[in-house]
Chains A and B, each alone.
Chain A
Amino acid sequence: MKPPPFRYARCATPADAVTLLSEAGEDAKVLAGGQSLVPLLNFRLARPALLVDVNPLEELAFVREEADGALCIGALFRQVALEATNLGARWQAITDAMPRVGHYPTRVRGTVGGSIAHADPAAELPLLCVGFGARFALVGPAGERSVEVDDFFLGPFTTAVAPDELLTRVSLDPPPDGAVSAFEEFSERHGDFALVSAFVGLALVDGRCSWCRVAIGGVGPTPTRVPDAERALADSGLADAELGIAADASARCCTTGGDVHCSAPTRRELVREVTLRALLRARGRLTDRMGSKA
């Protein structure tokens, strides 16, 4: 459990990082918080020739709400900082999820961009991106480009970030006014990667569901929206039966087979249950909001 040899370089600017990455070709890896990369190095599952340490890029450690309401998070923003940020009700899924991202000590070092670029199929932050919808800013030799979430997560541990590109920030799409969101996951122990996780976003207009998002994680190569679930909820009154139909649709979306922790049938059952709990939690939040406005 000692890494194979690698070179190490610290960069002073994002352009620096891009230059270093370009020179190294396919053999370079960006080192941010290191909470996933360093164990991979120690297991010798990753063998980069060069580590480009982006920790000096303090300008990428920020969170801000844009004029259009989008939540823009710098890639170097530490997970523990996002956890401590006071976000509005519609971003509540983030508040739900952050304490479940690893353990407190790993969140102190772990970054938002690092977790997203690592793209573990069971990780919380990629699911939030898929659930809310997101755009990712990538800086490369030709300058900056923006990638939509549908084109970003390509497979397990695989994203649209090219070997010579650096993820600098993510912008989560703003949910409509009055919307709520919720996150649920199931793991055997606190802090483990989720066996399954679910994101739900809801808004009501005149008692009918005007906006809904259902996304699940840990159940396939990437986190994924569940269109059948969203269709079941759209324009509905969010009655128990409709929530149940949406949860069933989620379970059908689960393509992951069994592994040491969970057999395939159990995973499908968990997807249904976790989705249902996220739906109930989100609906409860809507009800609370209605109550407080009345």
Chain B
Amino acid sequence: MTTALVRTRAPSVGLALPRVEDDRLVRGDGCYVGDIHRPGQLHARIVRSQVAHANLLAVHVEEARAAPGVVTVVSGSDIPGLSEKRIPIRLSPGQLDRFALQTPLALDRVRYVGEPIAVVVAVDPYLAEDAAEAVWADVEELAPQLDPVPGHGAPLLFDMVPDNAVATFETAHGEDVDDLFRHADVLVHERFSVHRHSAAPMEPRGLLAEFDDDSGRLTVHGPTKVKHFNKRVLADLLELAPDRVLLVEPDVGGGFGPRGEFYPEDFLIPWLAVQLRRPVKWMEDRLENFVALNHSREQVIEVAMAARHDGTLLGFRSTGWCSLGAYVRTTGHTVPRLAGIHMPGPYPWRGFSTKFVSVLTNKTPLGTYRGPGEVEATFARERALDLVAAELGMDPPELRRRNLIRSDALPYRVDTGAGSEPLVYDSGDFPAALDQLLVAAEYEELRRSQAARRQDGEAVGIGVACFFDQGGIGPFEQARVVAEPDGTFTGYVGVSSIGQGVQTALAQILADELGVDVDRVRIDHRDTDSISDGTGAFASRTTSFGGSALILAARKLHEVARARGADVLGVNDGEVTVEGDEVVTGNGRSVALAALGCEAAATFESTHVDFSFGSAVAVVSVDRPTGKVTVERYLGHYDVGRAVNPLIVRGQLDGGAAQGLGGALLEDLAYDDQGQPLSTSFMDYMIPTLCELPTVQSSWSEHPSSGNLVGAKGAGEAGIIGTLAAVANAVADALAPDGVIVRSSPFTADRIRALLRGSDAPMSVQPSQVGAG
């Protein structure tokens, strides 16, 4: 009877189930770090540098210490051994990182506006902020270095980092690029720049740390994303045994990459809780968030690209400079490194070379943000492709169609030089996917309509972009599955929830593997005690890696259950099977897993990386007199491998596109020439509202990944990767009759007017500089 039920149970993977998270969150029953209170808790306020670059001669805290309600005020000299407490990097190390790591408080130099120089702790957050105004610093100002492509003689941030170039990454593939250029019919060469912007999570960061004297344990509420890494770093910096540190993830209002990395505050607040033996809470406000949370995207990328008359792409060379900000943070050089990896895109180049440099600048440090480096590389490459198409007089999608790697060439392997892992594009049908998107967009009709509107004097443009989404980065993920006494199952995972629907999607995967209904499965990602290790929530990896680990753990759980069940039933292991929540014998005797008290843990390991194909179409109109760009339509088509929950997939793809459109059109972390940030509130950092967004049409295909047990590829970042490129190409197409070249984002009214006035003159670059050195 049970057997029959199990066999007819429909799999839940693939169903658009409502997210189990949502009911609680939309009722206002979420528990964010700000909702957590502890008796006797104190409130911290970070005092931050007001100048971009200066020698820090002294930090005066005496007056603040005497202010009402203040418990302590700490500057860099008050923390023993601070000069050795440098926040380590987690990903993508570079050559000179050791000189440019950040200490949690500045010691003798400040290098960006917003750099922590002191912490005030008071009994009340208002009093803490009042007292923070009384902290002042003696500084000797230095000239700021703000240029991602610094000239000779630019101020140095660190004496040991010549030219502020802290790391360089190079790739080379195939035939000699100069040779390909010599035999090309068409050669384009341009310098593109992507402006600084980043995530703007609805909820800024927050931490609540408490030290329990009895157990000698430190508990920190608030870190999300990579909590096991953060736990190890914190234990190391505090010189505590790792098992004395517990990190707990509350609900969070948006991750997108920057949230949850190890920041200066992630040391300072726990350190204060240990010192003061009282709970210490810190809630980042929006002004801080704009200068403290990792920035992203700012890169200058030069491209020279060669093709034949028939559109056959031959080779390219690119040099990029990434404005890394003042310190190398935990995500190291992921942004410029991934930009290099994504420069070739889904095309079969006969040869290419890339060189990307991480350049220190007196700005907030730069880290990963949804689609890191991928957005920038896609923008530069796809813009250059449109320039090639224009030279050839070819329709831009046709140029791509003629060149996209054919499905019969998959898996397609790109060697990128000694010491680099080859890139492997393993599955999909790229030309078919592009055609599917163009059909959905009614591309031919769009062109007809464009021609008619141009006749009427309108500036209307259509932009296309193709790209890869790199998802599912290893090396491992852990899961532990417990058969609970009440008949439910709990899956503990090391991945984090930053709002992506982890509890729903992973429950679907686990339920199918266990052969039980999804509502009997619960996913727990909450802390570092319930599972010994994990890699975290980044690189679109939670579903593929977290899900694969759960599948392995569930299989192991069934093994354990068979052994125990056979024992209880008094038969041999081979005579029982697990059917849903029971161990059954051939003659119908059974025992519930709930009664067996079994659990199992497993680790999924893989070095496989998915490069999943995506393409996007943007239709824009430009109001020439005001310069206003309106995105009329935006369509994307993506290979998600396997859509575990189509509702979540759609939300991720649409949301990614919306976020990308905001970055393309509006959001700008601008600085003045003294390194003062100009966008420190939502009045100046303009995130789009529904009024500014078109209807986004996302669709997908499913070519399962061979690299994990779920078959899923990335979906969390896919939606954003092509936005900047597609919008840029559409704006360029709209303004083609005006004879302008689109090189720089964002596409604000002011920038468009400057283009039309001709004041965005091309940068003077000699071809010999491209890729030189």
Give me the interface of A with B, judged by CB distance under 8 Å. 1-5, 43-44, 186, 188-193, 195, 260-263, 265-266, 269-270, 273-274
Contacts and interface: CB of A to CB of B under 8 A. Distances in A.
B246 to A, nearest CB: 30
A266 B753 contact: yes
Interface string B447-463: 00000000000000000
A1 B678 CA distance: 17
Contact of B750 (A1, A4, A262, A274): A262
A81 B281 CA distance: 42
Q: 7 closest A-B pairs (Cβ-Cβ)?
A: A190-B691, A1-B285, A260-B678, A273-B625, A266-B753, A266-B750, A2-B129
Contacts of B670: 260
B626 A186 contact: yes
Given A189-B691, A263-B750, 10 more contacts: A1-B287, A2-B125, A2-B285, A4-B130, A188-B666, A260-B679, A260-B684, A261-B684, A266-B750, A274-B626
27 contacts: A2-B126, A3-B126, A4-B130, A4-B133, A5-B130, A43-B287, A44-B133, A188-B692, A188-B748, A188-B749, A190-B691, A190-B692, A191-B691, A192-B686, A193-B683, A195-B749, A260-B678, A260-B684, A263-B750, A263-B754, A266-B627, A266-B750, A266-B753, A269-B625, A270-B753, A273-B626, A274-B626
Interface string B738-773: 000000000011100110010100000000000000
B754 A266 contact: yes
A4 B130 CA distance: 6
B688 interface: yes
Given A260-B670, A265-B757, A270-B626, A189 B130 contact: no
A44 B627 CA distance: 35
A44 to B, nearest CB: 8
Given A265-B757, A266-B750, A189 B688 contact: yes
Contacts of A4: 130, 133
Contacts of B129: 2
B628 interface: yes
B692 A1 contact: no
Interface in B608-636: 625-628
Interface centre among A3, A195, A261 (most CB of B within 10 A): A261
Contacts of A191: 689, 691
Interface string B378-411: 0000000000000000000000000000000000
Contacts of B666: 188-189
Contacts of B133: 4, 44
A5 B692 CA distance: 38
Contacts of A273: 625-626
Contacts of B286: 1
B523 to A, nearest CB: 35
Nearest to A258: B750
Interface string B543-556: 00000000000000
A68 B679 CA distance: 47
Contacts of A189: 666, 686, 688-689, 691-692
Nearest to B129: A2
A243 to B, nearest CB: 14
Contacts of B749: 186, 188, 195, 262, 266, 270
Contacts of B625: 269, 273
Contacts, number: 70
Interface in B659-712: 666, 668, 670, 678-679, 681, 683-684, 686, 688-689, 691-692
B119 to A, nearest CB: 16
Contacts of B679: 260
Nearest to B691: A190
B352 to A, nearest CB: 37
Interface in B538-591: none
A192 B679 CA distance: 14
Contacts of A266: 627, 749-750, 753-754
Nearest to A267: B750
A292 to B, nearest CB: 29
A148 B125 CA distance: 45
A260 B670 CA distance: 7
B191 to A, nearest CB: 21
Given A1-B287, A43-B287, A190 B689 contact: yes
A5 B130 CA distance: 8
Contacts of B757: 265
Contacts of A269: 625-626, 753
A132 B311 CA distance: 62
B343 to A, nearest CB: 31
Contacts of B754: 263, 265-266
A263 B285 CA distance: 29
B757 to A, nearest CB: 7
Contacts of B678: 260
B679 to A, nearest CB: 7
Contacts of A190: 689, 691-692
Interface in B265-279: none
A152 B712 CA distance: 65
Nearest to B670: A260
A86 to B, nearest CB: 25
A1 B686 CA distance: 19
A9 to B, nearest CB: 19
A188 B679 CA distance: 15
A132 B757 CA distance: 35
B628 A186 contact: yes
Nearest to A103: B689
A274 B749 CA distance: 13
A269 B623 CA distance: 13
Interface in B104-128: 125-126
A263 B757 CA distance: 12
Contacts of B689: 189-191
A260 B683 CA distance: 11
B522 to A, nearest CB: 37
A1 B684 CA distance: 16
Nearest to A263: B750
A261 B628 contact: no
A144 B686 CA distance: 42
Interface centre among A1, A191, A262, A270 (most CB of B within 10 A): A1
A193 to B, nearest CB: 8
B324 to A, nearest CB: 23
Nearest to B128: A2
Interface string B121-165: 000011001100100000000000000000000000000000000
Contacts of B684: 260-261
A192 B682 CA distance: 10
Contacts of B692: 188-190
Nearest to B752: A266
Nearest to A272: B625
A265 B688 contact: no
Contacts of B628: 186, 188
B638 to A, nearest CB: 28
A186 B626 CA distance: 8
Contacts of B287: 1, 43
A189 B626 CA distance: 13
A262 B754 CA distance: 10
Nearest to B285: A1
A177 B465 CA distance: 57
A218 to B, nearest CB: 13
Contacts of B285: 1-2
Contacts of A265: 753-754, 757, 759
A2 B124 CA distance: 11
A3 to B, nearest CB: 8
A265 B130 CA distance: 41
A104 B704 CA distance: 46
Interface in B313-327: none
Contacts of A263: 750, 753-754
A189 to B, nearest CB: 6
Contacts of A43: 287, 681
B755 to A, nearest CB: 11
